[in-house]
Chains A and B, each alone.
Chain A
Amino acid sequence: MNNHSQQNAIVAKGVSKTYEKKVEALKNLDLEIRKGEVFTLLGPNGAGKTTFLRILCTQLMPTSGDAYILGDNVISDPEAVRANIAMVPQDAMAYANFTPWDYAYYFCLLRGMDKATSKKHAEDSLKAMLMWDKKSTPCQSMSGGEKRRALIAATLASDAQVMMLDEPTSGLDAIGRRNVWSALRERAAQGKTIILTTHMMDEAEMVSDRLAIINKGQLVTVGTTSEIKRQVPFKYRVIVPENEIDKSKFSDITKIGDRLVIYLKTDDEAIELVRVMLKKNVQAEAAPVTLEDAFVRLAGGELE
């Protein structure tokens, strides 16, 4: 790991991927992900998040560039990389006749663990995913969320140094999502590096140490949630009915149906707008800008 910081679990340098028919999924992506952090890749559909994860997981060759996981080159030394990674792919489905135990236990054996260690890891991860009671139930008899949790449990059981989860909580209910977040934070506290992709801003905000926004195959920004929110030039947002306001007075407005989201830079502007609305007997509240506001702005969402 001569050229790479010992603090980084993943280093990507100029990673590009062009698929057949000249579709450019990734364009010269540079990214460093630190050891022991939960790192989220945020981006609109087709931004290149899954392509990037698949390259890191040695499933896909980049067109150009280099990537390292714990110092091992993803392109030239995939076997060394595979010893340290585990993955839950996007839209992965569970085998009908497999049980959660089959997944967790046999995946541990395939990673080279002995039977006793495999049993211990499988039990721990299934308990963490609240799947212990269903450990012997074939996946065909489980709900979509339970199947998803079974796959996540199999990945957590791996004890891999770097775990990559592509939209892990899609299809999970609120309790299931929080359960997954909690397990991921615990793994990060143990020094594991967690990379996930998500469309859910609350998930990114709740679970990530840092996150990157990717759009059209390019890195837009990277940082903590607060750092990213600070990159947008406004502090508050106020949601008001469209017909209650003179739009020409405001420069940053997003239209959502018959409502307007008005972005404001200062406390005074926010207080003044709320005051005007209340005077008109219209409910209005100034709230701090959210990660979603920053994401839409930075990822190129159109503002009126």
Chain B
Amino acid sequence: MNLKKILRDTWIIAYMKSVPDIKRQPLMLIFIVALAATPLFFIGLFAEGGASGETFRIGLIGVMVSSIGFIAISASIQDITWDRYVKLREMVVAMPVHPLSYSMGLTLGYLIFSFPGFIAFTLYGIYLGIFDLFSLAVVVASTILCWLALSAIGFTIATYQHKTSPNTLGIIANMLSFLFVFLPPVYYSEEMLGSMSWIVYLLPTSNAAALMRYSANLTEWNQTAFVLHWLILIITVIAFTLLVIKMARWREP
């Protein structure tokens, strides 16, 4: 295994799977940013304190998570399915490209795709004074873990559902995106759920959002919960990556 070639191929695939789309369909980028920001718009309009209130700040963290999360889960399912459908994957298999480069390239491609929106929202958060150096470090680390976890979950679904039609998987992907991004406590604090606040531990998106809220002092500090959120994110990444490695095949049996 030539590590230099694996990394080079990863970058080429990531570039191929993101830059042509960004260049030729920039509207898609705006759509993703707009989709992530829509709840924030309503929070700013209707929540207590408007755009300067705490709810708005919590909502901004939700936008940052969803700008990465929505595309990570949706694209990882749809890309693998679509690549199989258009037979790009078959062409790549017949090349000296390691399967690891392919999956890492796809994953990195989503990050490139969602990067402009994420950076814009982060800069807005800095402008509002939500983030200091510590919270920025937490934002970056938890975002990366959330992105890896969602991509791994997406790959696992696409791998196990290899006989499901691309259209059906596309619908499943969009439904999962809503389930992961808009329903759990991502745009809002888990405290609003009362006795159901444990839901915050279930999904990578809500774990990442909770970590960011802790680091930005938008939730009452709880060291155990802080550590638990990290652990869950890390375990999710490892577990789903192992599942993908076990099940993903470059060659059909």
- Chain B residues with CB under 8 Å of A91's CB are 87
How long is the Cα–Cα vector from A99 to B16 in the complex, in angstroms? Answer: 11
**A window 256-289: CB within 8 A of B:** none
Assess whether A86 is in contact with B251, with CB atoms less than 8 Å apart. no
Binds B, one of A27-35, A40-48, A101-109, A123-131: A101-109
A300 → B minimal CB distance (Å): 28
- Chain A residues with CB under 8 Å of B94's CB are 57-59, 82, 85-87, 164
- Chain B residues with CB under 8 Å of A82's CB are 93-97
Assess whether A102 is in contact with B91, with CB atoms less than 8 Å apart. no
Is residue B88 within 8 Å, beta carbon to beta carbon, of the partner chain? yes
Cβ-closest chain B residue relative to A57: B94
- Chain A residues with CB under 8 Å of B20's CB are 95, 97-99, 102, 138
**A window 45-104: CB within 8 A of B:** 54, 57-61, 78-79, 82-83, 85-95, 97-99, 102
> Contacts A106-B12, A110-B9 known; A87 to B25 CB distance under 8 Å?
no
Is residue B24 within 8 Å, beta carbon to beta carbon, of the partner chain? yes
Identify whether the interface residues of B are mostly helix, strand, loop, or mixed: helix
**B window 32-71: CB within 8 A of A:** none
- Chain B residues with CB under 8 Å of A78's CB are 250-251
Assess whether B87 is in contact with A89, with CB atoms less than 8 Å apart. yes
How long is the Cα–Cα vector from A28 to B197 in the complex, in angstroms? Answer: 62
Q: Contact check: which of A94, A106, A151 meets B16 at CB < 8 Å?
A: A106
Cβ-closest chain A residue relative to B249: A61
- Chain A residues with CB under 8 Å of B86's CB are 92-95
How long is the Cα–Cα vector from A112 to B94 in the complex, in angstroms? Answer: 13
**B window 192-240: CB within 8 A of A:** none
Interface bits A125-161 vs B (CB < 8 Å: 1, else 0): 0000000000000100000000000010011001000
Is residue A111 within 8 Å, beta carbon to beta carbon, of the partner chain? yes
- Chain B residues with CB under 8 Å of A58's CB are 93-94, 250-251
B158 → A minimal CB distance (Å): 17
Interface bits B10-26 vs A (CB < 8 Å: 1, else 0): 00110110001101110
Q: Contact check: which of B13, B15, B90 meets A57 at CB < 8 Å?
A: B90
How long is the Cα–Cα vector from A61 to B253 in the complex, in angstroms? Answer: 5
Assess whether A107 is in contact with B95, with CB atoms less than 8 Å apart. yes
Is residue B162 within 8 Å, beta carbon to beta carbon, of the partner chain? no
How long is the Cα–Cα vector from A92 to B90 in the complex, in angstroms? Answer: 9
> Contacts A97-B25, A102-B16, A102-B20 known; A110 to B92 CB distance under 8 Å?
yes
Among the interface residues B16, B24, B85, B91, which one has the most CB atoms of the partner chain A within 10 A? B91
Q: Contact check: which of A54, A86, A89, A102 meets B95 at CB < 8 Å?
A: A86
- Chain B residues with CB under 8 Å of A94's CB are 86
Interface bits B84-119 vs A (CB < 8 Å: 1, else 0): 011110111111110000000000000000000000
A154 → B minimal CB distance (Å): 7
- Chain A residues with CB under 8 Å of B252's CB are 54, 59-61
Cβ-closest chain B residue relative to A99: B20
How long is the Cα–Cα vector from A91 to B9 in the complex, in angstroms? Answer: 25
Cβ-closest chain A residue relative to B11: A109
- Chain A residues with CB under 8 Å of B96's CB are 79, 82-83, 110-112
Assess whether B91 is in contact with A87, with CB atoms less than 8 Å apart. yes
Assess whether B21 is in contact with A89, with CB atoms less than 8 Å apart. no
Using a CB–CB distance below 8 Å, which chain A residues touch chain B? 54, 57-61, 78-79, 82-83, 85-95, 97-99, 102, 106-107, 109-112, 138, 151, 154-155, 158, 164
Nearest 6 interchain pairs by C-beta: A87-B94, A92-B87, A93-B86, A89-B87, A89-B90, A57-B94
Using a CB–CB distance below 8 Å, which chain B residues touch chain A? 5, 8-9, 12-13, 15-16, 20-21, 23-25, 85-88, 90-97, 250-253
Of the A-B pairs whose beta carbons lie under 8 Å apart in the complex, a sample of 21, sorted by A's number, is: A54-B90, A54-B252, A57-B93, A59-B251, A59-B252, A78-B250, A78-B251, A79-B96, A82-B96, A82-B97, A87-B91, A92-B87, A93-B87, A95-B88, A97-B21, A98-B16, A109-B8, A111-B95, A111-B96, A112-B5, A151-B91
